[in-house]
Structure 1
Amino acid sequence: MYLLGLAILLSLLKVAEIGPVAVWSWWVILGVYGAAAAWWAWADASGYTKRKAMDKMDQRKKERIERQKKALAPGSRRR
């Protein structure tokens, strides 16, 4: 995602002709888009994306269980 953000930023700088990016070749900027596409292809093919999603779900599950344990603990009820 960072590579895509960088590529978009570089594209905007190139179009607006701001800074040193204005004199760069478009191939450099297209190369950053290519690197982003290669990263996403690798992440999907290797299972990296799925592992990250599973880790996030596991963390949410642990947090939910902890909240429920605290709610069921003696003395935590309001009267």
Structure 2
Amino acid sequence: MGFLVLGVVLLILKWAAIGPVAQWSWTWVLAPFALAALWWWWADWSGYTKRRAMRRDEARKAARLEKARASLRPPKSRP
């Protein structure tokens, strides 16, 4: 995501001819998009994306179980 944001910012700066980015080659301006594509390819190839999704699902499941357990506990009585 960071590569995409950087790419969009550089693209806007290049088109608007703002600052030193206006003088940069298009290769440098478009490089973050290529890096984002490489990151996504690696994340899918290595299983990183799937592991993150599994961790997120496990955390949701644990939160649901804790909420269910808390609702089964008797309320604390006041002395």
* TM-score of the aligned structures, taking structure 1 as reference length: 0.89
Q: In the alignment, is residue 73 of structure 1 matched against residue 77 of structure 2?
A: no
**Distance in 1 of aligned mates of 2:69 and 2:38:** 44
Name 1:12's counterpart in structure 2.
12
CA displacement at 1:63 relative to structure 2: 0.6
State the Cα distance separating 1:3 from its structure 2 match: 0.5
Query: How far did 1:75 drift?
Result: 1.0
Q: CA deviation at 1:28?
A: 0.2
Q: Note the C-alpha offset of 1:48.
A: 0.4
Gap runs ≥5 in structure 2:
none
**Structure 1 stretches (4+) deviating beyond 3 angstroms?**
none
Supply the RMSD in Å over aligned alpha carbons. 1.1
Identity of aligned residues (%): 49
1:13-28 aligned at under 5 Å gives the runs 13-28=13-28
Structure 2 residue matching 1:31: 3-state secondary structure: helix
Counterpart in the other structure of 2:32: 32
